Chains A and B, each alone.
Chain A
Amino acid sequence: DAGVIQSPRHEVTEMGQEVTLRCKPISGHDYLFWYRQTMMRGLELLIYFNNNVPIDDSGMPEDRFSAKMPNASFSTLKIQPSEPRDSAVYFCASSLVYQPQHFGDGTRLSIL
């Protein structure tokens, strides 16, 4: 089975640009999570969806961040405008209820 697929793997862009990160969850999983990992703050949950509906977005740092899940096989995390402090590794994960979350390989984002 294919795991969680994220794209791009690496993104380098200049401050102020729009950044879009993409995620394809494991087929059949009804939960999808977006995390951010930094040395300073560790692994933080940004938002999660159940059956394509956002359930908890309390971890989204500010209005510059938005996430969508238009269907069961695709989600995006958008940052507009991007800032250097947004530099991090962003992980997408998916799961079934009460089961371990399966993580993608992550997107390493650098904002110059």
Chain B
Amino acid sequence: ELKVEQNPLFLSMQEGKNYTIYCNYSTTSDRLYWYRQDPGKSLESLFVLLSNGAVKQEGRLMASLDTKARLSTLHITAAVHDLSATYFCAVDSPGGNEKLTFGTGTRLTIIP
């Protein structure tokens, strides 16, 4: 059974600081996604990572993938308040079907 773990579960950080969210998964997968969810809202796709060493960046967020370690990171640079949200990673099932297993989520709060 594919397991996806994120840490930390909760993260409170000051504006301007850098931090990293970690996503570990238990079996080989073809694709890893990062999603953002604002409180009471839907999930929004941020990044898709397909290969070992892949790096994607959008504004203050940068995601990377190490398939050998089965680890993805989401790095936040110089955090600002509007990045406060819950961030999920999700991994597809072995064999490449469309079924995703989501991590527990990391609730990020940026304090002014």
List residues of chain A with CB under 8 Å of any chain B CB.
Answer: 31, 33, 42-43, 45, 48, 50, 55-56, 91, 93, 95, 97-106
Contacts and interface: CB of A to CB of B under 8 A. Distances in A.
Interface of B: 31, 33, 41-45, 48, 88, 96-105
A46 to B, nearest CB: 11
A12 B103 CA distance: 28
Given A31-B98, A48-B99, A103 B43 contact: yes
Contacts of B44: 103
A67 to B, nearest CB: 15
Given A98-B31, A100-B33, A106 B102 contact: no
A-side binding surface: helix, strand, loop or mixed?
Answer: strand
A72 B97 CA distance: 19
A42 B33 contact: no
B43 A42 contact: no
A55 B43 contact: no
A22 B12 CA distance: 36
Given A42-B105, A43-B88, A100-B33, A48 B42 contact: no
Nearest to B46: A100
